Amino acid sequence: MMRVLMENIFNSSRMNQLFETSSVRQYSQELLFSTQVDLMSLV
């Protein structure tokens, strides 16, 4: 149940949208913010 909640909260499109709206000096290239979040959640 917790996993489903976390997957909904950390939805890829939501994470990318959050990054796009709040980033000031950062930018996206090949590695999207959602990919980084997914990778870090595995650790």
Domain residue limits, the chain: 2-41
Give the pair of three-digit tokens for residue 13. Answer: 């499109």
Count H helices and E strands in the chain, helices first: 3, 0
pLDDT in tens, 4-35: 777 777 777 887 788 788 877 776 677 777 77
pTM (2 d.p.): 0.47
Polymer length in residues for the chain:
43
pLDDT in the model for residue 28? 64
Can you tell me whether residue 43 is helix, strand or coil?
coil
